[in-house]
Amino acid sequence: MSQLRYYTEEGLKKLKDELYQLKSVERPKISNQIAEARDKGDLSENAEYDAAKEAQGLLEAKISKMEEIVGNARIIDESQIDNSKVLILSKVKIKNTTNGAQMTYTLVAENEANLKEGKISVDSPIGRGLLGKKVGDLADVQVPNGIMKFEILDITR
C-alpha cells in the first residue's frame, strides 16, 4: 500500500513536470535508440540494443514510481497550518544547545528538500526530531555521532 505524502503546490508541480519530461521526452528518445540499434542487425551480439533496452527498463521503473508518488500526493492547505507546534511547512528557528549555533529550516516533503534553500525533509533525523515540538521545547536528534539537542526558538509559516 502506498503512503500519502503532502506537498506544496510548487513541489507537486515540479513532480508533475518531471513526470511529463520522462514520458514525453525521455521515453521517445529511448524508443528511438532501440529502433536504431535494432536496424543495425543481429540483436544477439548488439551491445547498443542491450544498453538501450536496459535504459528503457530503468526509465519505465522510474516513471512507474513517479506516477505512484503523484497519485498519492496531496497539497497542503497552508492557511490551515498551526504555528503553535512544528509541522510540515513550518519554518523553524532552532539553536544547537552545545555550540549555540542558530539555524532556520523549513520542513518539507522528502522530494522538496534542498539544504541550500534551507528546506529539510520531515523524514530526515532533524525533521523527525522537530515534528510536534513547541517554542521553548528541546528536541533530541539522533545523528551518526550521538544525540544533538536543539532548542525551538520560533515557529512561523
| Cα atoms in the Cβ-side hemisphere of radius 13 Å centred on 142 | 2
Contacts of 86 (CB under 8 A, 6+ apart): 92, 107, 130, 131, 132, 133, 134, 152, 155
Residue 82: the pLDDT is: 66
pLDDT digits (tens), the chain, 157 positions:
457 777 778 888 888 999 999 999 999 999 998 888 888 776 667 788 888 889 999 999 999 999 998 888 888 766 666 678 888 888 999 999 989 999 999 998 888 889 899 999 988 999 999 998 999 999 998 888 889 999 999 998 7
- Domain 78-156 indexed as CATH 3.90.226.10: no
Pairing of strands 91-96, 146-156: antiparallel
What residue spans define the domains of the chain?
Answer: 5-75, 78-156
Q: Are 150 and 133 in contact (CB under 8 A)?
A: no
**Sheet of 102-108, strand order:** 119-121, 102-108, 91-96, 146-156, 138-143
Rounded to whole angstroms, the Cα distance separating 102 from 152 reads: 10
Question: What is the model's pTM?
Answer: 0.63
Q: What is the CATH code of the structural domain delimited by 5-75?
A: 1.10.287.180
Residue type, 136: G
Three-state DSSP class for residue 105? strand
